[in-house]
Each structure stands twice: as structure tokens, then as C-alpha cells.
Amino acid sequence: MLAGSATVLVDAIRNFASIREPAEIRSHALERIDESPWGWLATDVVIVDIPEPNVGARVTNNPPDGIITIDRRNWSGGRLDRLVDHELGHLLDFAVWGSGDPDRRGGLGSEPWAECAAVAAGTRSVDRGDADERYHCFADEIEIYRQTVDALDEVCRSWAEPECRAVDTIRP
């Protein structure tokens, strides 16, 4: 029982919204990007007010520019890490498939792909049956994500300064 209470306390502290100022949000996000094997896909982080309450961040596609735009709100370190890993998942999608291939991402939808990227990065856990209908990563989906990433030979960023990297040198 004591161990369970300690886990709840640690989770509560980790999820406490302690990152408030735009400069702090940006700095934390950039640190997470630097830690990620997919971080080289991001070109910048911008903090703005995003009026949609269910949107914490976004990246632009069509054409992608690699900029992660994050909402100016109070964040916990854990939530911000999950958010950045999710957006990096979208950038990985854009780098590998662009926006034209309807059979991309191993058949996963855009949001499950990005959620599974956060699971693979270790900042999010796999969902059970009661997950949000749009933002989820179920056990079968994380397996599809991993198999799809494992099958990649190289990832090419077409924005900013175009660059390709062999996946076996950057594999998470």
C-alpha cells in the first residue's frame, strides 16, 4: 500500500503544472527535442495562444515547416514531454510519407500514429478500451507503429535544410 501511495504522489508531482512562462515552455520543449532521436525533424518551437481548448500544440503540413507550435498555458513537465513527442510523431509522418499517400503509417490514422510515437518515446502509456476516440494508442497500434518504423531504411526531412538520415543510426 505504501508503494502504491508513493507512486501516486510521484505522478502527482510530475504532472503538476509548473511550467508557465512562454520562455520556460519553449526551453523545456527544446530540451525534449534535443533528447529525441527524431528531434532533428523539428526546426523551431513557437509559443502562442491556441484558441481550441483540446489542442495543446500543432505542426504545419502542406507544406511542413518543422515548427512545433505550443499553446501558452500551464504545463507539467510530463504533459509537455508527451506533447512534444506526439508532435515529433507528426513530423516523422510528414518526413516519411508527406501528405499524399493514403496507405501511409502502416494504416494508422494521424493521431494514433502520433500518440504511438509518444508511447515509443516512453512519455505516454498504451491505452485500454476507454481511451479518447481520437487520441489513443492501443496495444495493437503500438505494434503497428514499431513494425512500420523498423521497416524504414531512411527518413528524409524536406523542409528547412533538407536532410536524410539512415534509421538504423537514429532508431529510438
Q: Could you read off the pLDDT of 110-145 as tens digits, one per residue?
A: 999 999 999 999 999 999 877 668 899 999 999 999
Q: Measured between alpha carbons, how far is 13 from 161 in angstroms, rounded to an integer? A: 39
Nearest C-alpha neighbor of 50 from the set 82, 81, 75, 30: 75
Q: Is the dihedral of CA 121, 131, 68, 160 positive or negative?
A: positive
Cell digits for 166? 539512415
Predicted pLDDT of residue 138: 94
Residue 51, pLDDT score: 93
Q: Which pLDDT belongs to residue 172?
A: 56
Cell of 148: 512500420
At 125 the pLDDT is: 95
Residues of the chain with pLDDT under 70: 1-17, 131-132, 171-172
- Residue 60 CB neighbours (<10 A): 14
CA 144 – CA 28 distance, rounded (Å)? 30
